[in-house]
Homo-oligomer: A and B are copies of this chain.
Amino acid sequence: MASARTPRTADDGSGSRRKSSNAATLGDVATHAGVSPATVSRVLAGNYPVSRSARQRVLRSIRELNYVANTHARALAGVQTKTIAFVLADVRGPSFAEAAHGVEQEAARLGWLCLIGTTQGDRERELAIVRLMREQRAGAVVLIGGVADADDYNEQMTELAYSLRAAGSLLVLCGRPPLAPGVPAAVIGYDNEEGAYAITSHVLAQGHRRILFLGGEERHTTSLGRLEGYSRALKTFGVEFDPSLVEHGVFTRASGYQLTKKRLAGARDFTAVFAATDVMAAGVYAAVNEAGLSVPDDISIVGYDDIELAQDLRPRMTSVHVPYEELGRTAAKVAADEDHQREDWPGLQVTLKTHVVVRDSVARLD
């Protein structure tokens, strides 16, 4: 019934400074149930013996007062907040979304909440957000996707890793290269280089020798890794690496489109295009079609990520499958595992496998 606290109904409206909400507190529940706050806390936590009758009464009071525990108070009192923060460049990227979904799913399954922040690929903003997350005392901070590498990147990230750990939290790098050994961070990745090597090899095996590589920003770790795989495959096949066949843009459809259009306007000195992401590849398709050329007869195209879109493009696109959802899921699992709080936690590095999915976008050159 009426709680013991003064109901601020009638006397309200005359600006009482503190706008404390009138939600029931643990103390209210205790009073209502005729027990001490500690007892209420104990039935809530369920980690301590409480008599049946007391528990019953408390539970009833909770229901009647519509009590909801205050997370902040709880956090302040020293309980690790079960929230895992994840940070990515842009929720709209299908592969990011897939990974985010994995994180979200697993986190929910484990009863964790997710905090999300996006950076638009801006390093500064990323750093700022991670700091913000630390301020929120998130149980872990998961960074999804590559970044534009810069001289001070490693240093700053390393510092963040330590600072997070000092706060009982954990830095999880997801789809991004590891920091120096010994730095307290978990790395959940897949091999960009390997996948790119495999798919480039596939294209080369079909007889192509002039393959245009469309990458993201020049120092973007993901782009870099894929470019390396590309050039290693070239080497394996005894084809000389031609820097003029490498273009840099960003990981969007528009960028893939622009870049391709530009190249198509010049001498057509390539027979295939390897777009660093499927999304970029969609732009390549559009530009090639617009130029009145056919895929794969005139230009072969391959992508990377194997998002759903790859099956909707016509002809269906050959791509490198990356288990993004599992990546996210694993990240969440690691984040939620309290093991990493142990003094002697050895760090963790998981590398997931990728594989080429062959479809119809590469022509055999004879």
**A-to-B contact residues, CB < 8 Å:** 12-13, 18-23, 66, 68-73, 75-76, 78, 81, 90-92, 94, 97-98, 100-101, 104-105, 108, 113-118, 131-132, 134-137, 163, 166-168, 253, 282, 285-286, 289, 308-309, 311-314, 341, 343
- Min CB distance, A336 to chain B, in Å? 16
Q: A21, A75, A78, A108: which has the most chain B beta carbons within 10 Å?
A: A21
A72–B76 touching, CB < 8 Å: yes
A135–B69 touching, CB < 8 Å: yes
- Min CB distance, A50 to chain B, in Å? 21
Copies in the complex: 2
CA distance A300 to B255 in the complex (A): 30
A116–B118 touching, CB < 8 Å: no
Q: Which residues of B contact A18 (CB under 8 A)?
A: 78
- Min CB distance, A342 to chain B, in Å? 10
CA distance A314 to B131 in the complex (A): 45
Contact A66:B163 (CB < 8 A) given known A13-B343, A341-B19: yes
B312–A19 touching, CB < 8 Å: no
CA distance A192 to B166 in the complex (A): 50
CA distance A124 to B131 in the complex (A): 34
CA distance A114 to B66 in the complex (A): 26
Q: Which residues of B contact A12 (CB under 8 A)?
A: 343
- Min CB distance, A78 to chain B, in Å? 6
Nearest to A135 among chain B residues (CB) is B68
Our pick among B92, B282, B343 for the contact of A101 (Cβ within 8 Å) is B92
B253–A308 touching, CB < 8 Å: yes
The 6 tightest CB contacts between A and B, nearest first, are A72-B75, A72-B72, A21-B167, A116-B116, A314-B314, A68-B135
A-B contact pairs, 8 of them (CB 8 A): A19-B341, A20-B78, A21-B166, A71-B72, A104-B117, A105-B118, A108-B118, A113-B117
- Min CB distance, A187 to chain B, in Å? 23
B101–A97 touching, CB < 8 Å: no
Nearest to A169 among chain B residues (CB) is B21
CA distance A108 to B118 in the complex (A): 8
CA distance A309 to B20 in the complex (A): 47
